[in-house]
């Protein structure tokens, strides 16, 4: 009897959740205020990172900016200061666990407790698997995936103590489905998605309802990170690379609306569902039709001219 009641309640909850998601798709959700919140953004010197910084600055958040490129980070900070917000910058190598922990200690001592954590930084080796040095493969996994564990361990305890905070993971559509020649990136983003979802479940199971999570999975963004990537021309006209500002603005709506997950554009949900439901061979046929199976090959050929220290830096 208890099982039947719980099953009925689950069906009601699932139905309610679906209806809420449908309504949220067509209506603008109420956006929360983050004025005065302390927001830490990684990869703040890159294209997307800089845009996130400016959007959070417009909302009145105090900012902590992390990047391995000191000069680029400072340029972002100056733009944010012109909007009248408090900004502190730190040069941090996210591939080094101790660098993260040391910088986190400095932030707590010098600025205070972070209440919004935006894990934006990422890299890709831009080499074929058998031609890629092991250290470049390792760095992709360290920056894009392992750093999420260390960042969370560094800043989540303070959020739990107050039952207040928001953790944002900027993943990728390539964390939901794959393509050839970017094994390091796909593996790291699949790891990022898995980590984020498990963390979200943990927070709910522990009744930390005041700590929100948002997973962002955009299609290829036109930042130069995957320069040269091409799908079939007709499909490319239908789904062109995303404009960076549009990507960040859509992400901000999801964050401020406390949306748990967003795919940008929405058509990526269809691709994700198809991958889960269709047989492997059917997905292969679809990839070939769209040109998705070989879309990264031109990117790999162009990658050597786009590298910095052996890696293509995150947007």
Residues with a known catalytic role: 185
Secondary structure class of 141 (helix, strand, coil):
helix
- Compute how many other C-beta atoms are within 10 angstroms of the C-beta atom of residue 268: 18
Residue pair 187/231 in contact by the 8 Å Cβ criterion:
no
Q: How far apart are CA 67 and CA 91, in angstroms?
A: 5
Residue pair 94/119 in contact by the 8 Å Cβ criterion:
no
Residue pair 62/34 in contact by the 8 Å Cβ criterion:
no
Q: How far is CA 65 from CA 62, 118, 152, 216, 224, in A?
A: 10, 10, 16, 19, 22
Q: How far apart are CA 147 and CA 277, in angstroms?
A: 31
Residue pair 185/174 in contact by the 8 Å Cβ criterion:
yes
Q: What is the per-residue DSSP string for 157-178? A: HHHHHHT-EEEEEE--GGGTS-
Those residues with Cβ within 8 angstroms of residue 46's Cβ, 6 or more apart along the chain or in another chain: 67, 72, 120, 121, 223, 313, 314, 315
E strands along the chain, which residues? 38-42, 62-67, 87-91, 116-119, 123-124, 165-170, 211-218, 261-264, 312-313
Those residues with Cβ within 8 angstroms of residue 108's Cβ, 6 or more apart along the chain or in another chain: 158
């Amino acid at each position: 009897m208890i099982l039947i009641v719980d099953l009925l309640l689950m069906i009601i909850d699932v139905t309610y959740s679906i209806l809420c998601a449908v309504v949220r798709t067509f209506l603008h959700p109420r956006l929360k205020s983050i004025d005065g919140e302390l927001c830490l953004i990684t990869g703040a010197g890159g294209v997307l990172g800089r845009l996130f910084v400016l959007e959070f600055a417009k909302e009145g958040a105090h900012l902590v900016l992390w990047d391995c490129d000191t000069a680029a980070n400072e340029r972002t900070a100056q733009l944010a200061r012109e909007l009248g917000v408090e900004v502190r910058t730190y040069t941090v190598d996210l591939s080094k666990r101790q660098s993260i922990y040391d910088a986190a200690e400095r932030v707590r001592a010098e600025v205070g407790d972070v209440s919004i954590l935006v894990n934006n930084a990422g890299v890709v080796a831009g080499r074929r698997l058998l031609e890629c040095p092991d250290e470049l493969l390792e760095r992709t996994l360290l920056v894009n995936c392992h750093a999420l564990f260390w960042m969370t361990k560094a800043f989540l305890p303070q959020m739990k103590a107050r039952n207040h905070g928001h953790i944002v993971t900027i993943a990728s559509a390539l964390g939901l489905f794959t393509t050839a020649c970017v094994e390091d990136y796909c593996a790291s983003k699949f790891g990022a998605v898995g980590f984020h979802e498990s963390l979200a479940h943990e927070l709910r199971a522990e009744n930390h309802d005041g700590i929100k999570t948002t997973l962002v999975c955009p299609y290829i963004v036109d930042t130069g990170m995957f320069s040269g990537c091409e799908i079939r021309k007709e499909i490319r006209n239908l789904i062109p690379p995303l404009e960076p500002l549009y990507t960040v603005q859509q992400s901000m709506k999801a964050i401020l609306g406390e949306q748990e997950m967003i795919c940008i554009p929405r058509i990526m949900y269809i691709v994700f569902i198809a991958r889960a439901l269709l047989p492997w061979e059917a997905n292969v046929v679809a990839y070939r039709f769209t040109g998705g199976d070989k879309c990264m090959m031109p990117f790999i050929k162009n990658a050597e001219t786009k590298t910095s220290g052996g890696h293509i830096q995150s947007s």
